Amino acid sequence: MARKIRLAEVGNYIEGRMDQLMRAAVLETDSRLKQASPVDTGRFRASWQVGENSASGGVAPAGKYDVSQINKRRKSERGQTAQNVLPIQRLGYDKEKIGNVYSVHNNLPYAEALAGGSYPPSWGGRYRSNQASPGWVQGIAKDIQGFVVANAAKIGRES
């Protein structure tokens, strides 16, 4: 059955649905990046942040992170169980809205090297078989494009 929306409310309805899609895309990107992040001390995984119209922000302090805490199962913001996910770190905003640009980034000095497949000497200078392979960030970005297209189509069918 089609939903009845007053003509004056169509714009707000569409904006609300697009906000939902934006929120889902940002949360899914954050989640997938954290899940795929190689873990030695856990600092890299803990340093993923989301900026609204900006990629600035800090980094998690050096030290050991409780890997069991990083690997725990938790209820995600979209109501699904997520594994290997820390809560999203939003910088300077509360909720994703259509019309803004969101940057999921990691400002650690070695983040670019890890994303490109260069790993610390303590790991033997290469990725471990249970860790992300070179190009993993680009793969996630491509997957999220498909995620957005599929979910936009779903919103269209449900509306």
Q: Hey, CA dihedral for 141, 146, 150, 155, is it positive or negative?
A: positive
Distance CA 136, CA 142 (A): 10
**5 — pLDDT class (breaks 50, 70, 90):** confident
pLDDT given at position 122:
61
* Domain locations in the chain as residue ranges: 7-158
**pLDDT beyond 60 at 80:** no
| Other beta carbons less than 10 A from residue 66's beta carbon | 10
The angle subtended at Cα 42 by Cα 49 and Cα 134, nearest 5°, is 80
The angle subtended at Cα 80 by Cα 39 and Cα 45, nearest 5°, is 15
Nearest to 140 by CA among 20, 22, 37: 37
Report the residue count for the chain. 159
85-94, 127-136, 138-147: lowest mean pLDDT where? 127-136
| Other beta carbons less than 10 A from residue 34's beta carbon | 23
